[in-house]
Every structure is written in C-alpha cells, then in structure tokens.
C-alpha cells in the first residue's frame, strides 16, 4: 500500500471460535464494501487464533463515513 501521510487506520480484531459459519463470506463482503467507499486506501489482514484487519483511510471524514455505513 502506498499512500501519502497522514492517513488513518481502522483496526478490527476477532477471536476464532467453533462457530465461524459465514465469517469468511462476510469478511470478503466488508472488503468489497470498503473498496467502494470514498477515501478508502487499502486493507491488510491476518487470521489464526486472533484475526486482525487494518483498513486505511484518506482522512477522518472517510473513516467516520465507514463507521456510519449501515451495511458495515
């Protein structure tokens, strides 16, 4: 990911459980939704016992709009 600083991040963490039905599909849907959001710069994630997803945003307004997105 290449972006001019400053940029802003949203960090989402989750813990793996025995009930994961649909998690992967929903995570993919959130990435596709974020890509359509104005100000989205990129996303990185890793998942084992603990899942961490970091999304990058152009400015605070973009980050706020992502938080307020009703589908999100």
Q: Residues 12-49: pLDDT tens digits?
A: 998 877 766 777 888 889 899 999 999 999 999 998 88
pTM of the model: 0.80
State both tokens at 48.
């084992």
Mean pLDDT of the 48-65 span: 92
Quote the pLDDT of residue 62. 95
What the chain holds in terms of domains, given with CATH numbers, is 8-68 (3.30.70.100)
Give the count of beta carbons closer than 10 Å to the beta carbon of residue 40. 19
- What residues have CB less than 8 Å from 65, skipping those under 6 apart? 37, 38, 39
State both tokens at 7.
């940029």
Quote the pLDDT of residue 5. 73
- What residues have CB less than 8 Å from 69, skipping those under 6 apart? 33, 37
> Who has greater pLDDT, 5 or 33?
33
């Amino acid at each position: 990911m290449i972006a001019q600083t400053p940029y802003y991040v949203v960090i989402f963490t989750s813990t793996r459980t025995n009930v994961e039905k649909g998690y992967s599909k929903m995570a993919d849907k959130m990435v596709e939704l974020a890509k359509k959001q104005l100000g989205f710069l990129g996303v990185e994630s890793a998942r084992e016992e603990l899942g961490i997803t970091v999304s990058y945003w152009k400015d605070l307004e973009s980050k706020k709009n992502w938080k307020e997105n009703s589908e999100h």
